[in-house]
Amino acid sequence: MSRQRLTVVLSQAQGKNPARRALEESITAALLMEPGLDVSIVPYLYDLGPEHSGRLFLESIQGDMVVLAWMYPRAAFWLLDRDGIKGHYGANQITPPAEVDEEEEGEPGPPKGIGSVDVPPRWIYCLDLRDHPNYEIYVQEVRRIAAECRQRREAQREAAAQGQPALVQLGRYLRDEEPAKPPVQFTAEQLLQPPARRWYPVIDYSRCTNCMECLDFCLFGVYGVDQLDRIFVENQDNCKRGCPACSRVCPEQAIMFPDYKTPAIAGAPVGNIGGLKIDLSKLFGGDDALAIAAQERDRELVADGRQAVGMTVGIPKRQAHKPKGPKDDLDKLMDALDNLEI
């Protein structure tokens, strides 16, 4: 595979919805006819386990990549990142029909999260297959992305060549033209083997500030801290199916569940959407978000045969500004212990 080729991966929808399958087939057939593209199909991205052939194939891809999936681009990008499939976020220009005639107000603020680590010099573009029923929209966008990637490579080559001795320039040029290591080869049957459905949180590290509130709140051992003292999803299979409670307590809306019905929790863009300045905290449950999260957590605790804890455990630090109620005997005892100089 040449470094000049762009890898395009289509992630199939769950189930066998005929309209979705038809769109997938139309996109794939059209892209296979496009020059300079390597096109592959894998099952639903969110369900791919670490040993699935589709996941292993994605991990082996080098260079720029386009991923078409049935989820928000932000969710797809950070889902890939958590699986070690890293790159710079490539913005796409597809606008859902409902937003075409609306103007965005202002620019989104700069990322304030801790960011990803060990990001290679490549770009990953994620397209949401729910945005348009017309396959040509996606084909045109992939063409645009392919041209953008070519222009970037040419600009990088020219910038690197300036000021370099002629022989070094020639050597660099020849290395750029050498074939890249090809992705791991799998048969279509291996790639499309249906995975089991999964449920787990995905962290957007461009927004995550490492506050650890999710770690304090979750009582099922889903989260952990890595060797760099960064929060991460350590035991994803401990997560309770259908429960998005931890996403509601995150003060930065950095935790996503791509399959959840509420857009803000599923990974919708954060900031100005369709010309409207939306406070996503209200979409997460407004002032009652913590109460809703506590109820969801209690439901799962009881289902596990454990005792409900309500708002008494793991309530985020952002509640510290709220007025405190009268102290009971336990509060007074804890205050006395805190005052002991031991």
Per-residue pLDDT of 230-257, as tens digits, reads 999 999 999 999 999 999 999 999 999 9
CB 32 within 8 A of CB 63: no
**CA atoms of 214 and 231, how far apart (whole Å):** 9
Distance (Å, whole) CA 73 – CA 141? 14
pLDDT at 157: 83
- φ, ψ at 203 (rounded to 5°): -95, 130
Q: What is the pLDDT of residue 165?
A: 53
Q: Which residues have CB under 8 Å from 125's CB, separation 6+? A: 64, 65, 66, 67, 90, 91, 92, 145
pLDDT number for residue 184: 67
pLDDT of residue 273: 39
Q: What is the pTM of this model?
A: 0.80
Q: Count the Cβ atoms, other than its own, within 10 Å of residue 133.
A: 13
- Contact between 215 and 225 under an 8 Å Cβ cutoff? The reply is yes
Q: Are the CB atoms for 135 and 76 separated by under 8 Å?
A: no
User: For residue 219, what are the CA distances in angstroms to 200, 295, 310?
Assistant: 14, 13, 12
Per-residue model confidence (pLDDT) at position 337: 54
What pLDDT was estimated at residue 162? 77
Question: Count of residues for the chain?
Answer: 342
pLDDT given for residue 339 in this prediction = 59
Q: Give the C-alpha distances (Å, rounded to integers) separating 208 from 77, 86, 115, 120.
A: 15, 17, 8, 20
Domain positions in the chain are 6-191, 202-322
- pLDDT at position 96 is 79
Which amino acid is it at 151?
A: Q
CA distance 301 to 187: 43
Helix extents (H) in the chain: 18-32, 53-60, 73-82, 135-161, 166-177, 188-191, 213-217, 245-249, 263-266, 280-283, 289-303, 329-339
* Residues of the chain predicted below pLDDT 70: 1-3, 98-111, 163-184, 271-287, 317-342
